[in-house]
Amino acid sequence: MQFKQALNNVITTMLNDQKNEDGFCVAVYNDDNFADNAMVMFMEYDAYGSVHAVMKEMHDLLSAELGYPVSMCHNSPADENVLIHGSEQDSRPFHMEECCKEDTIRCCMDFLQTRKGYRPEIQALALMAESIYERTEEESIQLLLERLNWNEDPLPQLIRKELGH
């Protein structure tokens, strides 16, 4: 099956999913130079709770549709656009850790220096890590963030650490 048709099938499946009855919206920008690439902008995905959850579902459905794992990554850590490389030679499994860890840590460190910009999730993560660092013997905020399990949401992990659990 061709990439564009498979992507259309997956989006249709997700649109028709019962959990998305309150809304699911994406925009797709096809790459004119490479038929098996596209950028997907997630605009409404409340049922998933996070952009990573909707990315994972799209990855799993698209990989099943094509018969091999596609490669997905953020276009930029500051937006909800996802690049999809759908050719078989570019295929690899989706892992949130690989996808986001370094970009998120970089954004957190930048926010702590400038105290400007970034999504509320980045601000909360940075401020929580800073608070823990100031009260504990952690070597650095960056190391504290790097040691988190990035295959799970990092903020609840920091909250548990803050509460001493």
CA distance 103 to 74: 9
In a shared domain, residues 70 and 123: no
User: Which of these three, 67, 94, 121, is where a domain ends?
Assistant: 94
CB 108 within 8 A of CB 24: no
User: Which of these three, 36, 70, 94, is where a domain ends?
Assistant: 94
Kindly tell me the burial class for residue 136, based on how many C-beta atoms sit within 10 Å of its own C-beta (0-12, 13-18, 19 or more).
exposed
> Quick one: pLDDT at residue 134?
92
User: Which of these three, 45, 68, 94, is where a domain ends?
Assistant: 94
In a shared domain, residues 73 and 142: no
Q: How many domains does one find in the chain? A: 2
What percentage of the chain carries pLDDT values higher than 90? 25
The token pair at 131 is 């608070």
In a shared domain, residues 88 and 122: no
In a shared domain, residues 75 and 111: no
- Backbone conformation region of residue 57, classed left if phi is above 0, alpha if psi is from -120 to 50, else beta: alpha
Query: From first to last of its 165 residues, what are the pLDDT tens digits of the chain?
Result: 698 999 999 999 999 999 988 888 888 988 878 888 888 988 888 888 777 788 888 988 998 999 888 888 777 655 678 878 777 776 655 555 556 677 788 888 888 999 988 778 888 999 999 999 998 888 899 999 988 887 778 888 999 988 886
> Quick one: pLDDT at residue 144?
93
- Measured CA to CA in angstroms, residue 165 lies from 20, 79, 113, 153, 162 at distances of 34, 32, 28, 16, 8
Residue range(s) defining the domain that contains residue 155? 97-163
> Quick one: pLDDT at residue 92?
58
